[in-house]
Amino acid sequence: MTSNNKQELLIQELKEFYMQLREFRDAVEKLDTTGRDTGSAERQRESAREELVRKSGKLKPIVVRLTGKQYGQQWNQSFDMWTEGLGASPFPPDQRWSLGALIDSVNEAIGRLEAEPELEKLFKITAASEAPKAFIAHGGESAARDKLEGFLVALGVTPIIVEEQPSEGRSKDKNVECYLKQCNCAVILATKGDVDGQTGEFIPRGNILNEVGRCQEIFPNRMVYLLEERVKFPTNIDEKVWERFTKDSMDKAFIKIAKELRAFGLITPTKPAG
């Protein structure tokens, strides 16, 4: 396939995504206006949201790279337009603002692609499609996960969160295995989960510990361990080198991630101009 054909297909894909975003925003605004909902409307809206989330796994890095925009401003606050706009919570008041910013960003990306006849001069599509992928083992939705996802995208790495990917009829275990094999490394986001019955200490949720074992089989030397404050790894994992983070700050964790990804050969340092 030629570069021009790839560009045309990408533009078409973004236009379809743009129209679906507008339809989803209309549904959100209708609910905000009427305050009434039905089971059928709710299911349709959730199905539309899940489809948008699935497509965003591929399109988010492309739009962010084309526009340089991931975060919006509203009421003097910064928000990740993708996370807020496509969030699963029942439509907080600022969701439609987030969706509006996201729609504008996608439209801008389409305009830039249509205005540039030679794609390589604006955006190397092969680099986007072949961007390294990082499997994220996590204990559920959290602010830490959202921050981690945004940071990886900013580094040019595609974060893979299995719950946001299509299952195509696979079981949960097979789905995890499928996406693990597509990735280049793993980031373990060990947030506070269960309480150890013997020690009384907080430990990560069981699914994280299970995924750690599976990741170690596939990426024995390409894993980054992040551990929330006041949480303890089991002894078989505690010997690994890990970095702490808190709900308020992930700065040290992000430095750790960048160092490790460079060591893995997945990202390269940016050289200053001149």
Q: Using an 8 Å Cβ cutoff, are 89 and 46 in contact?
A: no
Q: What is the pLDDT of residue 125?
A: 46
Q: Using an 8 Å Cβ cutoff, are 257 and 240 in contact?
A: no
pLDDT tens for 229-265 read 888 887 778 678 889 999 888 999 999 999 999 888 8
Q: Using an 8 Å Cβ cutoff, are 61 and 156 in contact?
A: yes
Sign of the dihedral through C-alpha 143, 145, 150, 151: positive
pLDDT tens for 185-215 read 999 999 887 777 677 788 888 788 889 889 9
Write the Ramachandran bin of 68: left for phi over 0, alpha for psi from -120 to 50, otherwise beta: left
Q: Using an 8 Å Cβ cutoff, are 145 and 189 in contact?
A: yes
In this predicted model, which residue has the larger pLDDT, 21 or 56? 21
What token pair was written down for 240?
């690994």
pLDDT tens for 78-132 read 666 787 788 765 555 567 778 888 999 999 999 988 887 665 555 554 444 467 8
Angle between helix axes 3-34 and 95-115 (nearest 10 degrees) is: 160
What token pair was written down for 214?
């599976």
SS3 150: helix
What token pair was written down for 224?
């980054």
- What pTM does this model have? 0.54
Q: Using an 8 Å Cβ cutoff, are 15 and 59 in contact?
A: no
pLDDT bracket for residue 137 (50, 70, 90): very high
Q: What is the pLDDT of residue 34?
A: 54
Q: Calculate mean pLDDT across residues 38-66.
A: 80
Q: Using an 8 Å Cβ cutoff, are 75 and 93 in contact?
A: no
